[in-house]
Amino acid sequence: MNTLTFTTNGTQKTISQERQGLMLNGRYQLQHELGHGGMGTVYLAQDTYLEREVAVKLLDGHSLGTSGRGQLLHEARAAARLSHPNVVMVFDLGEHDEVPFVVMEYVPGQTLAVLRPQRMDEVIRIARQLCAALQHAHDKGLVHRDVKPQNVLITPEGVAKLTDFGLARALDRPLDPEDSFAGTLSYVAPEQAMGEPVTHAADLYAFGILLYELTTGALPFSGSIAQILVAHLQEIPAPPRERNPHVLPALDELIVHLLQKVPGERPSSAAEVGHLLGILSKLNRLSTIFELA
């Protein structure tokens, strides 16, 4: 296959030449790759109807299962109902040569995986925005199921936007045995890893992993796939303050609370977590220690 190499944001990327300039549904013209994940590839594209830039995620059709396309349509429609300043909006859904794609708001900037905050107050500020995004989705009956730094975009103005809601699961849909949108192993909640029905509590667990990583610089569990899976199910991670003494005691307790194995033992809602983070933000302003170790 012919390939084309280009540079974006200082990083070299290679994509298939066949997709360069590809027109989807006679409307969305692919320009270049923005990122790649387990479920597909995201491209910057031009919406030729509305003359605006959009992000298009071309999904791996082989991973959807027999009923996957119907599930994707149902959940993308639900995600399209979301309208929040901290959520990347879903605009459209379609197929090209039997490959499903999701059209989303294009957000210039970097992911949280690249643009890591270096100050504790910045960690808390971003976390509060993500809580607002999650609460909005949960109020609309959606569970994200893949909360992680790679799915958080930070705009040049410092606004955090949670993305990939096009792959979220609607709470009103029965669990399908062929459902393959299982999340990312390092962030997956115990009940999610076991293939059990998930609620908003699964997102709060993943959010706790994200906070753990941002405050300590490391994931709570590491090793082989089997080791990480067992750790999610059975092991209690070291409290964040053991890895970074600059973590505020109250924030340490909140993260430990989020990482409880039993869903009912976690905080009751993202709104509750956001409220606690707001209190921590005020306390943090009184502290002279801001820098992450």
Note the pLDDT of residue 8. Answer: 37
So what's the pLDDT on residue 116?
92
CB 69 within 8 A of CB 100: yes
Kindly tell me if the per-residue pLDDT of 292 is higher than 80: no
Residue type, 82: L
pLDDT at 132 over 90: yes
Residues 214-257 pLDDT 10s? 999 999 999 999 999 999 999 999 999 999 999 999 999 999 99
Q: Where are the domains of the chain?
A: 3-105, 110-285
| Mean pLDDT rounded to a whole number for the chain | 83
Q: How far is the C-alpha of 249 from the C-alpha of 1, rounded, in Å?
A: 54
* CATH, domain 3-105, list 1.10.10.10, 3.40.50.300, 3.30.200.20, 3.90.950.20: 3.30.200.20
Q: 155-214: per-residue pLDDT in tens? A: 999 999 998 875 566 665 555 544 544 578 899 999 988 888 889 999 999 999 999 999
Res 286: pLDDT: 63
Task: Give the per-residue pLDDT at 148.
Answer: 94
Of the listed 97, 121, 139, 146, which one is catalytic?
146
Residue % of the chain over a pLDDT of 70: 78
| Top-confidence residue, 11 or 276 | 276
Looking at per-residue pLDDT, the higher value among 283 and 103 belongs to 103
Indicate whether 111 pLDDT > 60.
yes
> What count of other Cβ atoms lies within 10 Å of the Cβ of residue 33?
20
What's the rounded Cα separation, in Å, for the pair 45 and 28?
6
* pLDDT at position 12 over 70: no
Query: Does the 110-285 domain belong in CATH 1.10.510.10?
Result: yes
AA identity, residue 289: I
- 146 catalytic per annotation: yes
Determine how many CB atoms are found less than 10 A away from the CB of residue 47.
17
Greater confidence (290 vs 217) lies with 217
Q: Which residue has the higher pLDDT, 16 or 32?
A: 32
pLDDT tens digits along 133-152:
999 999 998 899 889 999 99
229: Cβ contacts below 8 Å, ≥ 6 apart: 185, 193
pLDDT at 6 over 50: no
pLDDT at 36 (0 to 100): 75
In the predicted model, what is the mean pLDDT of residues 68-73? 64
Q: Which segment, 2-6, 61-65, 220-224, is predicted with the most confidence on average? A: 220-224
